[in-house]
Chains A and B, each alone.
Chain A
Amino acid sequence: MSVENPRFAAAQRAVAASRRVRIFRVATWFLIVPLLSLFSFSVVAGARGLSGKRDYAEAVSALGPKKAGTYVVLREHPNPLEKFFDGGAAEHVCWIDSEQLARVGKRWSTGMITIEYGSGSLDLVTVDGAKAHDLREELGGVKCVLVQRSRTFYLPFEAHGS
């Protein structure tokens, strides 16, 4: 290790606040302030995202049975559909029975899946390619909530209806 004079001189120049350096420093704030604003926005938005664990069941309940509509379920692990069919939220979702399934099956491609969640399991009928309005009519002009993900509708199945 040695301490060379040129290094001292270089460091000396580095900290000397000449007029040019000062102007440059003040000018850099035109970059720094927008960057910092972006930083703030990203952090706050990110924080909102972190805290934005959606409560789908609550959201569906809040809509109520009279506010009919179609809702797209976002990707979420482990099962994005669970929230719609668990507890009180299930009351507002469109169900399907054997008779309705027979009618729907004649018009669109249908399938059956079973989802499992904390309080048990549930059979869901999947309907592909239908339009919400047509599906409602086929179900008997219902105004309940249709759960849709991508182009597939998911309807809880109850063989004998309620």
Chain B
Amino acid sequence: MQQRVQAALYGALFVVVAASAVLFLSRYGTDARFWERFTFVYLLMLVAYTWYLFALLFVHDLRPRRYPAYFREKIAVIVPCYNERPELVEKAIRSVLEARGLKQVIVIDDGSTNGVQERLRELAAKLPITLHEFDTNCGKREALHFATTRLLDDDVKFVVTIDSDTILDHYALVRVVEPLFDPDIGASTGNVLLLNERQNLLTRMVGTYYWIGLNIYKQAQSVIRSVVCCSGCLAAYRADLLREIVDEFANQRFLGERCTHSEDRHLTNLVLKRGYDVVYVAEALSWTETPATARGFLRQQRRWKRGYIRESIYTLTYAWRVKPLLFLQILCWDLTAPFLSFGLRIALIVTAVTNPSLIVTTIVPSWIVLMLVRYVFVPLRAGRKLPGLLVYMFFYELCLYWLNLWALLTVRNKSWVTRSATAQI
């Protein structure tokens, strides 16, 4: 039944794109009123969503949450690893061991072929970690499933998952698990910064992109305690809850296909589905690397956007019961807006071709000003990221937006894309 609902919702997204295109074409017909009303309604929705987002952030600024302090409860840290650079994975593991908290550290080598196993074996021989090696590459889901069902100590209270290229701050573990002392909270996620942010203009842009994603969107979601994705870089779960959902997690299917990527978003979905809250902890810091080339970054984004569509559809199938505000947010904006705005973007392209001066003199300057207002938190709270924001705004319109459409068409594609290369990012 759920598969059929998901298929119907997936089909509905194509209808949204088609409707947007038809409305665009209607402006050339005898009656342009439908197009004009559509444009007006879309922009009204944009304004309403922005107010909603800002209202949530205002609530957060006014009354930031406080959680009970950590007191030596046992935390299991699972580090799945596939073809990671040996020196980086070693840094990651050492940062986990140096982080505060009573820990059990589990490293799963997911059938690596780049020689990282030797380094992992050396580390396992001298450091207090549990290493398990898969003979072949089974995927990150299987690694998490195996660690949760077979390797967790009985007295583990919380499970933290990190990527094999994630470096943890000294206080990251204790801070990320502290919200879980609230019995209503099932999972929490931490702040992710970039190790290579200053490498080039692209990485600076990605740094801003991460900052916006975490400190605007995720922070706002955290106010309604419905963060939709506990990032794979740093996420914490109640151990008992994770044991309960991990089988369903490992066997997820979408449109008949077994799912591989975007496991972090699905795990979060399963937590929310059971009625638990999910929050974001900005003070739990971690560092990771981002692809430093446009090609690598776009590959990563293709995978993320496929997961975004698939998991947003999944969210709609249950959130109307347990998280109605989240349901409305995803239905009315998060999932539909990129597809609804298809016609508007085509209209902009047509204007750019037929009347280029209008783009330069009016549309682009107005758009920059409007976007700066929409992302006013960047200049106000992370001023150094302003150049990255300007690049991001153009990059989004020229590339990232169109990836949504590509992802919609190829949502069943299971390829990890970046993971099969040299590192999982």
Contact = CB atoms under 8 A, between A and B. Distances in A.
Interface residues of B, number: 40
B299 interface: no
B40 A50 contact: yes
B193 A50 contact: no
Contact of B39 (A3, A40, A50): A50
Nearest to A21: B381
Interface stretch (B181-189, B247-255, B281-289): B281-289
Nearest to B62: A26
Interface string A27-59: 011011001101110111011101111000000
A46 B366 contact: yes
A114 interface: no
A117 to B, nearest CB: 15
B244 interface: no
- Taking each of A1, A3, A22, A35, which has the highest tally of chain B beta carbons within 10 Å of its own beta carbon? A1
A1 B167 contact: no
Contacts of A17: 64, 283
Contacts of A43: 43, 46-47, 370
Interface residues of A, number: 30
Interface string B241-282: 000000000000000000000000000000000000000001
B191 interface: yes
A61 to B, nearest CB: 17
B48 to A, nearest CB: 9
Given A8-B285, A35-B376, A51 B39 contact: yes
Given A15-B283, A16-B283, A38-B373, A1 B40 contact: no
Interface string A51-74: 111000000000000000000000
B191 A15 contact: yes
B91 interface: yes
Contacts of B54: 32, 36
B119 to A, nearest CB: 17
A133 interface: no
B8 to A, nearest CB: 31
A25 interface: yes
Contacts of B44: 44, 47
A26 B57 CA distance: 10
A47 B39 contact: yes
Nearest to B287: A3
B134 interface: no
Given A35-B376, A38-B373, A11 B285 contact: yes
B376 A40 contact: no
B358 to A, nearest CB: 11
Contacts of A79: none
Given A29-B61, A47-B43, A50-B39, A15 B167 contact: no
Contacts of B374: 39
Given A8-B170, A32-B376, A50-B39, A22 B64 contact: yes
Contacts of A3: 91, 95, 167, 195, 287
B133 interface: no
A11 B380 contact: no
B288 to A, nearest CB: 11
B91 A36 contact: no
Contact of B169 (A11, A28, A53): A11
Contacts of A11: 169, 193, 285
A28 B376 CA distance: 10
Given A3-B287, A16-B283, A51-B39, A39 B381 contact: no
Contacts of A16: 283
Contacts of B167: 3
Contacts of A39: 47, 50, 370, 373-374
B62 to A, nearest CB: 6
Contacts of B406: none
Nearest to A53: B32
A39 B91 CA distance: 45
B40 to A, nearest CB: 4
B61 A48 contact: no
B361 to A, nearest CB: 15
Nearest to B285: A11
Contacts of A119: none
A12 interface: yes
A12 B289 contact: no
Given A32-B376, A38-B373, A48 B285 contact: no
Contacts of B4: none
B67 interface: no
Contact of B47 (A15, A25, A40): A40
Interface in A89-121: none
B36 A12 contact: no
Contact of A15 (B95, B195, B285, B366): B285
9 contacts: A22-B61, A32-B380, A36-B50, A38-B373, A44-B47, A46-B366, A50-B39, A51-B37, A51-B39
Given A3-B287, A16-B283, A51-B39, 20 more contacts: A3-B91, A8-B285, A15-B285, A17-B64, A17-B283, A26-B61, A28-B381, A29-B58, A36-B54, A38-B373, A39-B47, A39-B373, A40-B47, A43-B47, A46-B43, A47-B39, A48-B40, A50-B36, A52-B36, A53-B36
